[in-house]
Amino acid sequence: ATSRLLVNYQEPYRSQILDYLFKPNFGASLHILKVEIGGDAQSTDGTEPSHMHYENDENYFRGYEWWLMKEAKKRNPQIKLIGLPWAFPGWIGKGENWPYDYPDVTAYYIVSWILGAKQYHGLDIDYIGIWNERAFSSKYIKLLRYTMDKHGLEQVRIIASDRLWEPISFVMLIDSELHGVVDVIGAHYPGTKTVKNALLTGKKLWSSEDYSTFNDDTGAGCWARILNQNYVNGNMTSTIAWNLVASYYEELPFGRCALMTAQEPWSGHYKVESPVWITAHTTQFTQPGWSYLQVDGHLGGGGSFVALTDGLGNLTIIIETMTHNHSKCIRPPLPNFSVVPQRATFYLTGSFYMVETLQVWYSRLDFEYGNSILFQKLHPVKVWKGRFSLDLNVDEVYTLTTLKTGRKCRFLEPPPPQPFPSNYKDDFNIRNPPFSEAPNFADQTGVFEYFVNASDPGDHVFTLRQVVVQRPITWVSDADQTISVIGNFKWVNMTVTCDIYIEKPRDGGVFIAGRVDNGGIYVRRAKGVFFWVFADGTYRVTGDLAGQEVLMKGLSGVRDNAWHTLTLNIQGNSASGLLNGYPLWENVTISKPKNGWAALGTRSFEFAQFDNFHVE
């Protein structure tokens, strides 16, 4: 759920961000885009909607991944696409929190997504994964291959198991049928190392999720080091960064652990961070289909190099000399090593002996004064009788290449940063919304979608509706309540007003909230000030999403299937609540949290509607 805020950037800024990421020979020039197959459940920084909320439901226009894949393909038709589920809608497990009891159902669900990508968006998915960082089932993987082949999807390759090298490698060695259907072994955060069994399979080895590090110059150092050393130490020929762009509220888990930052659609501000230019050192001078040359890429004084060719005479060499303390990734822990300034001499033989000059691109990460040089074109290097030498300092990246197509492109500076508007309204009155979700609302459990109320007399035809009515097969511990957060995490005093409509009789309920202090994988422990009303005519004020810490309760007269207006006012260490404009409770003492987002949600996985949201 990391691209959540990207979609509601205004033009031209949205297209500029996408150009920096995907346009060839422009910025990051990415080769591969991996997206979540939304499963209606929390997947780190929010929930992404499924294409099948319910068994008899199919919709290939929810969420933002279809749009993102199309934008990537528009800029680079050659980009490879991967889909991977983190979670699944509850109906797939028929009540169990497990996707493999009915493997034919799960395979049908995933194949529907691949077919929908093609039918509705003209997108060819290249690779499909199994279940992110969770168990795999050999039976399911074989059935998935069979189901794809049956639907004419022979060209879609399977990557497994998006966790560790084992047990998938060992199982493939003893199960020849499984070995036959898995095309790529993908491991997460491998620390540039692989294992013997993985090599013995003879399969392509990928670091199918890596990086995940704050996108300052140390993050850039991490990224430069692993982009090379995943191959040099671990024989991995693809490295995929989580995540593409930090377009989620920064106070959610792993804030700014992305290649660039675009978390302010309300201002248009974004920042092309140094990892973008480190990426370019590799991506602008190689392509999928190029081959790594099998040389020992360890440099004598520390650091590494890789060499790649297109097999048609082109050669690209990428060198990195990142020091230990300037290239630590978020995980795994990095053993000590030393890097010193050195002179490196390269010998080109065979078909490369005839190369006379190499173009040079250079970066130096400056941790002393902050004057980093990023992706600068230097004078070409002359190759004399197949040899050339370079004086390498520490924390540098060089690309030497026969290609002359590299470019460092720039747009004019985007607008300056601004906090989230302190007075924000949304009446959800939009007839043909470009996206299924209202701007800036970041769903953390459940899914909130634009809804058209055909039967309403007029005031509430267009609303926001929570639509997940069965607990999904979760990836982490989603809350037992649904919740979507919005606004500025630093907010202290606020008034939140919203029209609400409980659809579930008897035990249904909804809330509005302020000072909400947690989301993402920690959503279950969210604290704040929560104002609840229930279908049985009662209300509650609690200090937590779970509803354990009751600050006030009583009768409200609210009923289901009727519209009511809730207002929550938080000032200093006191809160009060209004129902339909009249005071319902007041002077409730609030000790903590001191600040946080505004939010709305439901008591359980139940239908409910919201309208005329306003926070000040």
Q: Any idea what DSSP says for residue 330?
A: S
Give the E-state strand segments of 383-517 in sequence order.
Answer: 387-392, 396-401, 424-426, 442-445, 448-452, 462-466, 482-486, 494-502, 509-516
CATH number, residue 476: 2.60.120.560
Map tokens 């207002």 to a residue.
Answer: 567
Average pLDDT over residues 47-71: 98
For 129-187, how does the pLDDT look when each residue is reduced to its tens digit (9 = 90+)?
999 999 999 999 999 999 999 999 999 999 999 999 999 999 999 999 999 999 999 99
CATH number, residue 155: 3.20.20.70
For 585-610, how does the pLDDT look when each residue is reduced to its tens digit (9 = 90+)?
999 999 999 999 999 999 999 999 99
- Token digits of residue 261: 């930052």
Compute the CA torsion angle 177, 183, 188, 192 (nearest 10 deg).
Answer: 110
pTM (whole model) above 0.95: yes
Report the mean per-residue pLDDT for the chain: 98
Cis omega (within 30 of 0) for bond into 12: yes
Q: Give me the phi and psi of 384, to 5 degrees please.
A: -115, 115
Amino acid making up residue 172: M
Distance CA 362, CA 575 (A): 56
> Is 510 inside any structural domain?
yes
- Token digits of residue 380: 């070409």
At 95 the three-state DSSP class reads: coil
Distance CA 186, CA 182 (A): 10
Is 415 within 8 Å of 381 (Cβ atoms)?
A: no
Distance CA 237, CA 228 (A): 10
124 burial level (CB within 10 Å; 0-12, 13-18, 19+): middle
Plot region of 87 (φ>0 → left; ψ -120 to 50 → alpha; else → beta): beta
Length of the chain: 616
pLDDT bin (cut points 50, 70, 90) of residue 455 is confident
Amino acid making up residue 606: E
Average pLDDT over residues 60-82: 98
> Is 493 inside any structural domain?
yes
Beta pairing class for 597-602 and 482-486: antiparallel
Angle at 25 between CA 1 and CA 36, to 5 degrees: 15
Distance CA 39, CA 50 (A): 5
* Total domains present in the chain: 2
- Answer with the one of 161, 188, 221 that is the final residue of a domain: 161
Distance CA 7, CA 2 (A): 11
> Is 3 inside any structural domain?
no
Sequence-separated (6 or more) residues with CB below 8 Å from residue 580: 564, 565
Dihedral over Cα of 462, 15, 24, 346: its sign: negative
pLDDT at 457: 81
- Token digits of residue 63: 């969420």
> Is 22 inside any structural domain?
no
Q: Which helix (H) or strand (E) holds 51?
A: none
Residue 456 has pLDDT above 90, yes or no: no
Q: Which helix (H) or strand (E) holds 117?
A: helix 103-121
Within 10 A of 89 (CB to CB), how many other CB atoms are there? 26
Map tokens 């346009």 to a residue.
Answer: 23
Amino acid making up residue 527: K
> Is 484 inside any structural domain?
yes
pLDDT bin (cut points 50, 70, 90) of residue 259 is very high
Amino acid making up residue 598: A
- Answer with the one of 110, 143, 161 that is the final residue of a domain: 161
Average pLDDT over residues 178-205: 98
For 309-361, how does the pLDDT look when each residue is reduced to its tens digit (9 = 90+)?
999 999 999 999 999 999 999 999 999 999 999 999 999 999 999 999 999 99
| Closest to 223 (Cα-Cα) out of 149, 280, 262, 140 | 280
pLDDT at 225: 99
Give the domain range for residue 44: 31-161
- Answer with the one of 107, 126, 161 that is the final residue of a domain: 161
> Is 179 inside any structural domain?
no
Is 88 within 8 Å of 36 (Cβ atoms)?
A: no
- Find residue 574's DSSP bridge partners: 571, 589
Average pLDDT over residues 557-578: 98
pLDDT at 428: 98
Residues annotated as catalytic are: 133, 209
Q: Any idea what DSSP says for residue 254?
A: T
pLDDT at 454: 87
Map tokens 């294992």 to a residue.
Answer: 195
For 458-475, how does the pLDDT look when each residue is reduced to its tens digit (9 = 90+)?
899 999 999 999 999 999
At 604 the three-state DSSP class reads: coil
Distance CA 275, CA 222 (A): 9
Is 234 within 8 Å of 185 (Cβ atoms)?
A: no
> Is 419 inside any structural domain?
no
> Is 112 inside any structural domain?
yes
pLDDT at 384: 97
Kindly write down the DSSP assignment for every residue of 301-327, as one continuous string.
TS-EEEEEE-SSS-EEEEEE---GGGS
Amino acid making up residue 369: Y
